[in-house]
Structure 1
């Protein structure tokens, strides 16, 4: 797990993704999306229009010197930089990610900042890194004084939400979700795998991965962003159906409740559209259990059935008026 700009050999990578609806009544086009995500003047925003409109910001770095979350009472201090970036899908769904990777061991003494700046996105521990303890600790809520990747991601998200391009008039109500992830290095000769995916309370999801040492940390972050995006879509549409009171109301009320899903969300479902091909097969695991696309297709069919049912009385009225 390394960066294209750095040859540091990491034994794990960790991150958190925050996903939310863009606070704008109209989705942003590609030019506006690029303007929104221009976090640095020296690097351009990556924009693609196929198979869907997608924009990815340049990386930004946050310097840290603090304890890392670790299970079992392990005390781990690390110094380095955390990568943060943002993505916008179809001008509608905004994501912010913060992540880092760490080697098996670091220097016993703190180095000058120049040492860390030439290793972007790397946190070096003091001495040996307790990999398993850190992997377990990163998925729980950080304690006081520990690194909080979610706050870094949330800070970037808040910055983008205040951008003057946005009118702060979202077309419907929704909640943000959080996905925490940790990727340990796979054994030699083994491919990438998903060890565990968990739905926790308060819109929190956690995922544990194994990835080959040669896989770039940015690609792992991209996989987790894709997972977070589609989990947010499922969560949002399920909540939309739950609050629409299908069966208890009808006619215009049902159409109004379901229209945001049709107008803004149903066309966004496209797993693996922006995932590194080497990691794409991991989606097959999620399709088997918990069955992301099966659930999505069921929700889409339910919405279409309800809209068809509401159209029948209107058709009858039109025929009767002839």
Structure 2
């Protein structure tokens, strides 16, 4: 198989719709996407369940750059997208989809048995620019479009898998926290001495994009797991910040303020461990993100605010209760 031009991926992250965290047995039942294929489970440094990988066939286009007319049009790909689900700490659910884009050794369309045998690989069957130009053009096109009905849609593939799992009969649909789903779009390519490097951007309040450069082809295998790990921690930061903003709408002595914040302290703070489930080959990618934008520094600040807010709200509630109690007794004595 030819060396990949680029790897394209999409990850959705959300809170599992369950009142309690799932055990290993429950997680294995939920993520058993294929009969006879085991769910991988890790207990250390934190609980992690990974479903079997399933393939989705695609026959579509990829934009070459954000101006295809000028930069070469579209790459037509045929092959499969690899999809799987991940459960972190029994609490945070992810759906992940990715594909390696390679040049076809023969531009004639092959039988589907050929493509299905190569899970998570799509082959470019039309003529495209030379490698260095094609790599960068595919990255720009993936993030910037233009997007048509014929364009690869990893977002829909990932969303469909996430939706199917969230509606599983074993889930009670009673999550302890209201939290939105976030998206991480990612690309990875080989850069030799230019890697490892990351370029993370917040596109809006729920969509993020990251471009990765790794040194060698073997490192590409591990980038998906790094991106899943990154997506979990970005989701934790996003949810924690939104909960603090929501709590600020209530007076400090309001029970609603504590009701908003306390579940985050109970269910989310123990999930923070960036790099804990990132393979050794690409763990260095975390170093750049820890420096800028400073993931752990942000998390520490948010958790400190969370604890301080709960402490102040509890104290104010006790003072208010004591004050109203004293006032009631004074009226009774009169």
TM-score normalised over the length of structure 2: 0.87
CA distance in 2, matches of 1:131, 1:214: 14
CA distance in 2, matches of 1:30, 1:103: 37
More deviation, 241-250/147-156: 241-250
After superposition, where does 1:15-34 map in structure 2 within 5 Å? 15-34=9-28
* Superposed CA offset, 1:291-320 (max 9, x none): 1111100000111112222344577789x9
Check the 8 A contact 2:10/2:158 in 1, yes or no: yes
* Superposed CA offset, 1:161-219 (max 9, x none): 111110111212111000000111112x554221x110012511000011133325441
CA RMSD after TM alignment = 2.1
The offset of 1:251, in angstroms, is 4.8
CA distance in 1, matches of 2:158, 2:37: 20
Tell whether 2:292 aligns with 1:298: no
More deviation, 81-90/305-314: 305-314
CA distance in 1, matches of 2:17, 2:3: 39
Check the 8 A contact 1:10/1:213 in 2, yes or no: no
CA distance in 1, matches of 2:251, 2:144: 40
DSSP 3-state at the match of 1:65: strand
Tell whether 2:218 aligns with 1:215: yes
The offset of 1:104, in angstroms, is 4.1
DSSP 3-state at the match of 1:76: strand
DSSP 3-state at the match of 1:97: strand
For 2:75, the equivalent position in structure 1 comes to 76
The structure whose Rg is larger is 2
Number of residue-to-residue matches in the alignment: 312
Structure 2 runs not aligned, ≥5 long: 129-133, 327-334
Tell whether 2:209 aligns with 1:184: no
For 2:264, the equivalent position in structure 1 comes to 261
Give the direction of change, closer, same or farther, for the CA distance of 1:164–1:8 in structure 2 (3 Å limit): farther
Check the 8 A contact 2:85/2:94 in 1, yes or no: yes
Give the direction of change, closer, same or farther, for the CA distance of 1:205–1:277 in structure 2 (3 Å limit): same
Give the direction of change, closer, same or farther, for the CA distance of 1:276–1:202 in structure 2 (3 Å limit): same
After superposition, where does 1:222-261 map in structure 2 within 5 Å? 222-245=225-248, 248-261=251-264
Check the 8 A contact 2:252/2:313 in 1, yes or no: no
DSSP 3-state at the match of 1:67: strand
Check the 8 A contact 1:105/1:128 in 2, yes or no: no
More deviation, 28-37/163-172: 163-172
Whichever structure has more helix as a proportion of its residues is: 2
DSSP 3-state at the match of 2:256: helix
For 2:156, the equivalent position in structure 1 comes to 151
DSSP 3-state at the match of 2:279: coil
CA distance in 1, matches of 2:52, 2:74: 33
The offset of 1:92, in angstroms, is 0.6
For 1:4, the equivalent position in structure 2 comes to none
The match for 1:140 among 141, 144, 147 is 144
For 2:32, the equivalent position in structure 1 comes to 38
The offset of 1:248, in angstroms, is 3.4
DSSP 3-state at the match of 1:156: helix
Runs of 4+ in 1 over 6 A off after TM superposition: 314-318
The offset of 1:145, in angstroms, is 1.4
The offset of 1:51, in angstroms, is 1.1
Give the direction of change, closer, same or farther, for the CA distance of 1:203–1:183 in structure 2 (3 Å limit): same
DSSP 3-state at the match of 2:274: coil
For 2:283, the equivalent position in structure 1 comes to 280
The offset of 1:53, in angstroms, is 0.8
DSSP 3-state at the match of 2:263: helix
Check the 8 A contact 1:101/1:217 in 2, yes or no: no
For 1:124, the equivalent position in structure 2 comes to 123
CA distance in 2, matches of 1:69, 1:270: 36
CA distance in 2, matches of 1:218, 1:44: 20
Tell whether 2:58 aligns with 1:55: no
DSSP 3-state at the match of 2:144: coil
Check the 8 A contact 1:104/1:128 in 2, yes or no: no
Structure 1 runs not aligned, ≥5 long: 1-6
